[in-house]
Structure 1
Amino acid sequence: MTTDLHSGRYLGSFRWLVSKRLLIFGEELASAVGFDTDLGRAGIELGLFASVLHRDDQPAFAAATERASYFGGKVDVVLRLVGREDVATVRVIASCVNARRGRPTEFLGSLHLLGEHAVPPLAEMADHLCAAARIVRGLDERPLQRLVDMALVELGGRMATLEQEKQRERAALAVVG
């Protein structure tokens, strides 16, 4: 199954307080990015977050945050996070939700993992449902088995519909000269 850019794995959400230059995020995103969860809840400086970005992506991050802090609107930028052993490509999406006297004061956003390590949401759900099916078969619980089987059939139908929409025939164009 092929995935679109927007269907990468959701890593977590954040809140950016522009005037304080702080990013505040929860446990999931803190652990995904490599920060202590308490530090994430208290807020980290933008510069500290920029330190986990690939060196080549830091100017793009600075430009995106500077533009957003002056003009508001939306932030949509693809960056590479540098971990201990590998590099992960993420998409940062944020929207201005609070502005005073024309200047943005707060953004809400999210990070999504892209690339080969990203798992589409429906595929991740299928993995969980298959694991649940193995567990309930081991428990020999017939009503629970039927429930999980029905969920798997419904999920399979949704995945097939999405794949069919992507494979839908498009109009054939020919240039006659």
Structure 2
Amino acid sequence: MKLPILAGIIVLSGTLLAAPVLSADKSITPDGKPAPSQPHAKPGSKAAEDEAAAAKTPYETVRDVFTGDLTVAGEKVSFPQQNPSVRAIEITMAPGEVTGWHQHHAPLFAYMLEGEITVTYEEIGKKVYRQGDGLLEAMDVTHRGENTGDGPARILAVFLLGDDGKAVVEEPAPGSDKAKVQ
């Protein structure tokens, strides 16, 4: 079969019909599944070496605590553009202690140093966080936390402030009459 005729058979009404297996197509594996984001990052390959070099730190032991750009409520994090600053606090909650309902109008990364807390999010439900967990907390979702563990809960909270955002903004409890009638 001549190449021009084959090209005419493959292209039909402006749509390219793919052959079952194209060795030059690296985006699909032979079994039809999408290829990994680093298709050439096979152990010992140059891409694998580059990946390892990029992840290398000057520290002996590293554990990835959190990586992501979405809060626990699925909000896309956006960093302050004006007056950026960082505030880090350690929060200690006694067993059974409950926070007030609140929101964070600035990105907040939290790391559970000790214990367990259960956070109730308006319209989302409850999530439990334990020692060693890292999270990007909800910003514009009303929530409250409760120490549901047997001992103290300690949380490292790192706020990325700016844009006149406040670290913690008190909110009425979900379901309460947020608009007062006079």
TM-score of the aligned structures, taking structure 2 as reference length: 0.23
Higher alpha-carbon Rg: 2
Name the one with the larger helix percent: 1
* RCO higher in structure (CA 8 A, sep ≥6): 2
TM-score, scaled to structure 1: 0.24
